[in-house]
Structure 1
Amino acid sequence: MKNKPEEEEEPLSPMARVFQSPVVDICAIIDFGFKTKINPDVVLDALRHNVYKHPRFSSKLSENGAKWIETEVNVEDHVIVPYIDPEEIGESGQSFVDDYISRLTTMPLDRSRPLWDIHILNVKTTDAEAVGVLRFNHALADGMSFFSLVLACTHKTSNPDVLSTSNPSVKRRTTMPHNVEKTGWFPRTMFTIGSTMRLIWNTFVDLLLLSATMLFLKDTKTPLTGGVDVRTNPKRFYHRNISLDDVKLIKNAMNMTINDVLLGITQAALSSYMNRRYEQDKKNEKDGALLTPFPNNLPDGIRFRAGCTVNLRSDIGFKPLAEMMAKDSKCKWGNYFSFIILPLSIGLETDPLVYLKKAKAMMARKKHSYHAPLVYFFIKIILKVFGAKAAASVFNQYVMNITTCVSNVMGPMEEVSFHGHPIAYISPSSYGHSQALLVHYTSYAGEMTITMMVDPTVIPDPHKICDDMEESLKTIKAALWERGLL
């Protein structure tokens, strides 16, 4: 089935204009693990009957990249089922899938048609019987929009007649005094005169740091810093599941948010990983001779920052897809988010709870600032005055000078199935960034999936970072038990 021919146009949102620009050209890539082999005919049939209902997946970009143009969609052009020789798979199906996805990061999407494709790999891996890979230009959607699509296309595995749902704890909040809704990393803030003065001061400082970052302020060069070819190098992806219940246990014990816990774990894990990398560099400088190991090999005063996404929609929480697609929706489909910079604390701590406390204090500071909406506002102004290329260049310069990006998206709370195919895990990430490391957290069916995107020329062993995250989670939990806080 084909949708209606080219006729309607719709302008791109400011962030979508930036993401589709050749200067940036960021693509999302989502690895779905399935508990059964995938029937390609089922996928094709579902797309034939539904893709025309979604304007973004049935539209292509205009020549200047400023508008979506509805067009005909031949789904067979977008669904790839490669022939897989069993001998090519070898002993490890996971290695085959990893190599396949890595090759996709070097293959640009065809701009003459809608910017998405699906790859079906009926290969048994470590965590699944088969893998489906969805790839699309980030201009189509942000994380919240994408998961609204997942919820609309899947049913609960336990009850196939019921559509999947997100976590019911996600509710609309009355948040910042400047009336900008922030989700994920930003809890409720009280409005007082004192907080207003702090808001103004924090915003002023953040804008100074933002300006300095765009102009000259770079992070310290570390073993995780990307090289000049980091955007074009093939990327590799690695995922690991940890217990969401453990994360919630720590959250409740420390009276913080899930995102504070995840940020604390990230700081602890990256500190441990980098400490070993610096130790290895010292050994290499001594021609491989074993040195007397020092407990702390980290240089003093490391500037290590992470870009973090902030939802700017006035109505938060997952909404039905039809509601998000409505013209006047308060929770609109697309890219309605901004970025902030989080200064991560990199250092070895004798008390693992210090990482959590520092994360909580940092987020308490960052939540009380106009930083995120003003970044979005500035991008809009640059777009209108100087055009998309200038806006993309400014955005790219901003992210080039920080080390990594971190995000957290809440997925379905129960196991879901796509037309009879139960999903084992959902591992989203992206590529095209100016960093050698991205960290994505995604909750799904009682587990938290950590997804690493890495430049393997910089980080050849992302599994060790995940090892450190698991160990940090265990160490923090043990420390809370010892102190009677659990």
Structure 2
Amino acid sequence: MKSKLKIETKCKQENDAAEPVSPTGQYLNSKSLNSCILAILESDIPIDESCALPQLRDVFLPINPRFSSIMIDDKKGVRQWKKVEVNLQDHVYVPRFPEGLSSESYDDYFDEYLTKISVEPLPQDKPIWELHIINCPTSKAAGHIIFKLHHALGDGYSLMGALLSCVKRADNPSLPLTFPSTRARSEVKNTNSKGCMTKVPRALSAIFKGASDFGYSFLKSTCIADDQTPIRCESKSPGSIPLKVSTVAFSLNQIKLIKKKLGATVNDTISGLIFLGTRLYMQETQTKFSNSRSTAMMMLNTRITRDYMSVEEMTNAHTKIWGNKFSFLHIALPRSNNTKCSNPLDFIYKTRKQISRYRNSPAIYLTAQCLEIIRKYKGSEAVAKYIHSTLSKSSMSMTNMIGPVEQVTLAGHPIKGMYFMVTGSPQSLVITVMSYTQTLRIGVGAEKGFIDSQRLNSCIKNAFELIYEAATKSE
């Protein structure tokens, strides 16, 4: 339903000069791909709808010129960001549901609405973002604030930085937000023991490994498709898949305990947990799927920095941190010999080994160069088709974001929980992971009518229990 807010606001831009759309931005807003990010914030109190337009006008729009721009083609057919006047009423939606229902009934309304906006394309004749305010009490929150942002505006890192610029710490608004450490442990290497004699073999090994990894990635993108399983059906044509979005929450402290026990990272641990839960779900359908060929597309931030920067730093011409700066890894779901998964920790060990190999592989940069060559000789639409093919031949995609340690408020509304979902993928299963305060939230985007999301969530919870018990049984 169209917004009933009555404040009419337009944001005038001082500089009308067009800015070129990045190649990745063009891929993500094409005939073959049309990807968006849904950022869902759960409010502890009912939402004051009158705050929306002033907050958008005074805080959100000034963050980045792209929020006040549309994509156009210049005379040579090159896509540009063109600044326009923004009528904020055209971007805010406040659906109305029947009054006096139970929280469970409002859960159903909320789920249906989230599925609906996950498949609706954003209009291209105005800036490609929307704000949805759900002001009814579900079992999770008194109200929901949903930002729908086109992926062409930026990746999760950029858009999370923008979102965090709009919030303040609940305990002390004058203090900056803090985040869990993202710095990986460094290994001490003895550089003097063998000197140059070891450098040549290592270089040759790296070249061989990079070529091998890139070859495998290329084959996976073009001709080697995953098996048909309960999480992957026939290849999809371009277009959004209706997703039922649900979440599973775990204690971040418990995840860190598992990580410490196994000498892994939080990313290794949660990825192994998700893979085990997914295998359990597949096996519950039929045991033969315990050994199916299934891979996940894991999104990787390619920035040198892992810590969040201010919006000013991200948009600085020298740093150029804002935008879409990511690559993807083909991570195979470990196979299981039986439905009981006798050693659930193997899923973390095997996942960690793969992530470590591919994260440090030259294949990531070779893949980027391959996309650039395709773009140069065949155009952006050809690259978008290549990426669509890559996604459709895998079984699921995964991406994660780090959220603040402290509880935050948005326009005076305490936010009790937050998560996000990526839409527009040709896959039937999309998994997102986000930390906030001391909770790790797994978002499950499952194709409606094909994947039983309730059963899948139950399997992910079961996987956590198996891993936690196995990791802590020696205590």
CA-to-partner distance for each residue in 1:19-50, whole Å, 9 max, x for gaps?
01121111111221111111121121111113
| Structure 1: distance between partners of 2:176 and 2:97 | 33
| Structure 2: distance between partners of 1:346 and 1:14 | 37
Counterpart residue number, 1:217: 224
Counterpart residue number, 2:84: 71
| Structure 2: distance between partners of 1:411 and 1:56 | 23
Change (3 A) 1:352 1:192: farther
Counterpart residue number, 2:352: 360
Counterpart residue number, 1:56: 66
C-alpha contact 1:202 1:368 (8 A) present in aligned 2: no
Match status 1:328 vs 2:318: yes
Residue in structure 2 matching 1:265, options 252, 270, 273:
273
Residue in structure 2 matching 1:35, options 32, 40, 44:
44
| Structure 2: distance between partners of 1:462 and 1:5 | 48
Cα offset, 1:445, TM superposition: 0.7
CA-to-partner distance for each residue in 1:370-413, whole Å, 9 max, x for gaps?
12222222222222221111111111111111111011111111
Cα offset, 1:314, TM superposition: 2.9
Counterpart residue number, 1:340: 329
Cα offset, 1:214, TM superposition: 2.6
Counterpart residue number, 1:430: 422
Change (3 A) 1:48 1:271: same
C-alpha contact 1:5 1:72 (8 A) present in aligned 2: no
Change (3 A) 1:88 1:482: closer
| Structure 2: distance between partners of 1:441 and 1:62 | 33
C-alpha contact 1:156 1:415 (8 A) present in aligned 2: yes
| Structure 2: distance between partners of 1:172 and 1:273 | 32
CA-to-partner distance for each residue in 1:412-449, whole Å, 9 max, x for gaps?
11111111111111111111111000111101111100
| Structure 2: distance between partners of 1:265 and 1:17 | 34
Which range moves more in the overlay, 196-205 or 440-449?
196-205
C-alpha contact 1:237 1:451 (8 A) present in aligned 2: yes
Match status 1:86 vs 2:93: no
Counterpart residue number, 1:464: 455
Which range moves more in the overlay, 361-370 or 428-437?
361-370
SS at match of 2:353: helix
CA-to-partner distance for each residue in 1:95-143, whole Å, 9 max, x for gaps?
1111011111232111011000000010111211101111121111111
Give the counterpart letter for 1:418 in structure 2.
L
| Structure 1: distance between partners of 2:275 and 2:324 | 28
SS at match of 1:62: strand
Counterpart residue number, 1:120: 133
Cα offset, 1:173, TM superposition: 8.9
CA-to-partner distance for each residue in 1:327-386, whole Å, 9 max, x for gaps?
1115x1110111121111132420121112111222232233112222222222222221
Match status 1:478 vs 2:439: no
Match status 1:130 vs 2:143: yes
Match status 1:97 vs 2:110: yes
| Structure 2: distance between partners of 1:126 and 1:465 | 20
Which range moves more in the overlay, 442-451 or 194-203?
194-203
Match status 1:314 vs 2:297: no
CA-to-partner distance for each residue in 1:184-224, whole Å, 9 max, x for gaps?
xxxxxxx9555433322221111211221232101011111
Change (3 A) 1:228 1:201: closer
Residue in structure 2 matching 1:16, options 9, 25, 28:
25
Cα offset, 1:161, TM superposition: 2.6
TM-score with structure 1 length normalisation? 0.87
| Structure 1: distance between partners of 2:122 and 2:383 | 22
Q: What is the alpha-carbon root mean square deviation over aligned residues?
A: 2.2
Counterpart residue number, 2:431: 439
| Structure 2: distance between partners of 1:254 and 1:342 | 20
Change (3 A) 1:83 1:477: closer
Which range moves more in the overlay, 45-54 or 158-167?
158-167
Give the counterpart letter for 1:37 in structure 2.
P
SS at match of 2:455: helix
Residue in structure 1 matching 2:253, options 236, 242, 245:
245
Counterpart residue number, 1:170: 182
C-alpha contact 2:119 2:423 (8 A) present in aligned 1: no
| Structure 2: distance between partners of 1:130 and 1:81 | 11
Cα offset, 1:234, TM superposition: 2.0
| Structure 2: distance between partners of 1:261 and 1:386 | 40
Counterpart residue number, 1:158: 171
Q: Which runs of 4+ in 1 moved over 6 A?
A: 87-90, 172-175
Give 5+ residue unaligned stretches, structure 2: 1-9, 188-197
SS at match of 1:475: helix
Counting matched residue pairs gives: 448
C-alpha contact 2:418 2:436 (8 A) present in aligned 1: yes
Match status 1:234 vs 2:242: yes
| Structure 2: distance between partners of 1:101 and 1:119 | 10
CA-to-partner distance for each residue in 1:265-292, whole Å, 9 max, x for gaps?
01210111111112xxxxxxxxxxxxxx
Give the counterpart letter for 1:364 in structure 2.
S
Change (3 A) 1:89 1:28: farther
Give 5+ residue unaligned stretches, structure 1: 176-190, 279-296
C-alpha contact 1:109 1:116 (8 A) present in aligned 2: yes
Change (3 A) 1:476 1:251: same
Change (3 A) 1:52 1:457: same
| Structure 1: distance between partners of 2:204 and 2:408 | 47
Match status 1:276 vs 2:280: no
| Structure 2: distance between partners of 1:100 and 1:372 | 37
